Amino acid sequence: MKAAIYHAFSHKEAKDHDVQELGSQRAEAFVRAFLKQSIPHMSQEDCESHLQRKAVILEYFTRLKPRPRPKKKSKGLSAKQRRDMRLFDIKPEQQRYSLFLPLHELWKQYIRDLCNGLKPDTQPQMIQAKLLKADLHGAIISVTKSKCPSYVGVTGILLQETKHVFKIITREDHLKVIPKLNCVFTIEIDDFISYIYGSKFQLRASERSAKKFKAKGSIDL
Amino acid sequence: MAGPVKDREAFQRLSFLYQAAHCVLSQNPENQALARFYCHTEKTIAKRLVLRQDPSVKRTLCRSCSSLLIPGLTCTQRQRRRKGQRWTVQTCLTCQRSQRFLNDPKHLLWGDRPEAQLENQADINPSEPLPNIADLPKENIQTQALNTSE
């Protein structure tokens, strides 16, 4: 108990603090009497065990580290970012007609496969229905009618189709941007000639695949 | 012979656009803008018509800028080791987006597993219902009653 609760002053400490030195027995008797007076309801053994018991710290508070935020999955670029980065703009040095002839051959092969061989006895309505849903990139397309006379007669390979325009590369290596509105285009595939009314065709290439075209309506520029 | 495929024309169109992107790049490796446009159109069509593309095709398209990923031309490919596993890291040179693929020869995609094919999936037949008691002769009814009581 002596070691756990208190220890007697040494001779030097007693002299420094000007305290009267008591014998070890007298000191212990005083401490016991003091404890009995302070805690009357506890027995001596309980009191000693209570005083000698070690405190156990149940909770240990650490400094909270700032949690690293989960990385956001970067989604695709927005339309504005695409325009700013010029992701889909064809550079002038790549605007050569000869470079896109293999693309046209690939397109012809695709259309033949789509229309099951394009036999002479095939119904034109069936081909037209397929062409409405088909992809036109790589087709040789020409403007037959237009409200703007300077567009009429422009022929070339279709490189890009957007909602409102066709981008066509001509034999003279010029990239022509022709609006769909108020224009009639012609596509020729193995002696089949198909007309596209641009005013009714004002859709994105991707939207056209899901669109249901209606037969009714006036066909005019 | 395989049965008729739903959205056959749409899949043909996706196939054409993917081939067109490759064709344009093979003719002129600098003409990445047009290949990117075709791949972007392909992705948009697939999303609009809810068509599932093969993972081998999806891995060759950048998920951010829709570039056609060709190692050494439009992307870089590196082998990395991490946690005892080997990964292929593909970084698009246009938008710097990186994709990691695990190098595990034992790993099989779900579509390549035999149980993914419909004809290999075992049809679990529902347990046959007990025959109607009214249709059975009397002797059978007695034996059935005995069996059930046991």
A31 within domain boundaries: no
The domain containing residue A110 runs over which residues?
Answer: 95-210
Strands of B85-148 (E only): list them.
Answer: 85-92, 98-102
List, in sequence order, the alpha helices (H) in chain B: 8-27, 32-48, 55-58, 138-149
Contact yes or no for A90 and B10 at CB 8 A: no
At B100 the three-state DSSP class reads strand
**What's the domain count of chain A?**
1
Helix, strand or coil for residue B75? strand
Query: Which tokens is B150 given?
Result: 């046991």
**B20 → closest Cβ in A74, A85, A103:** A103
Q: Is residue B75 marked as binding?
A: no
A48 in any annotated domain:
no
Are residues A150 and A158 in contact, defined by beta-carbon separation less than 8 angstroms?
Answer: no
Contact between A113 and B23 under an 8 Å Cβ cutoff? The reply is no
The gap from C-alpha B121 to its chain's centroid, in whole angstroms, comes to 17
Rounded alpha-carbon distances, angstroms, from residue B52 to A110, A214, B2: 21, 28, 18
pLDDT of residue B124: 46
CB contact burial B5-40 (16+ within 10 A = b; e otherwise): eeeeebbbbbebbbbbbbbbbebbeebbbbbbbbbb
Give the chain B residue whose CA is nearest to the CA of A97: B27
Predicted pLDDT of residue A5 = 57
pLDDT > 90? residue A59:
no
* Sheet strands side by side (includes B98-102): B75-82, B85-92, B98-102
Condensed to tens digits (0 to 9), the pLDDT of residues A14-57 reads 777 777 666 776 677 877 687 777 777 677 677 767 666 667 66
Confidence of residue B146 (pLDDT cuts 50, 70, 90): very low
Name chain A contacts of B91, Cβ cutoff 8 Å.
Answer: none
pLDDT tens, A142-192?
A: 998 898 899 889 889 989 888 888 998 998 888 889 998 889 998 877 777
Give the residue on A whose Cα is nearest the Cα of B42: A206
Query: Which residues of chain B are within 8 Å of residue A100 when distances are taken between CB atoms?
Result: 24, 27
CA distance A70 to chain B (A): 17
pLDDT of B137: 55
Answer whether residue B140 shows pLDDT above 60: no
Asked, for residue A160, whether it belongs to a domain, the answer is yes
The CATH code of the domain that includes A137 is: 2.30.30.210
Q: Rounded to whole angstroms, how far apart are CA atoms A169 and A92? A: 11
Cα distance from A206 to chain B (closest Cα, Å)? 5
Over 80: is that where the pLDDT of A92 sits? yes
**Encoded tokens for A129:** 């229905």
Coil, helix or strand at residue A177: strand
The answer to whether A87 contacts B30, with C-beta atoms less than 8 Å apart, is: no
| pLDDT of B129 above 70 | no
Residue A72, pLDDT score: 55
Q: What is the DSSP letter of A178?
A: E
pLDDT in tens, B89-118: 989 988 888 988 888 887 788 787 787 877
Task: Give the residue among A213, A141, A132 at the shortest CA–CA distance from A184.
Answer: A141
- Judging contacts by C-beta atoms under 8 Å, the chain B residues touching residue A137 are 17, 20, 38, 41
- Calpha distance A106→B68 (Å, rounded): 18
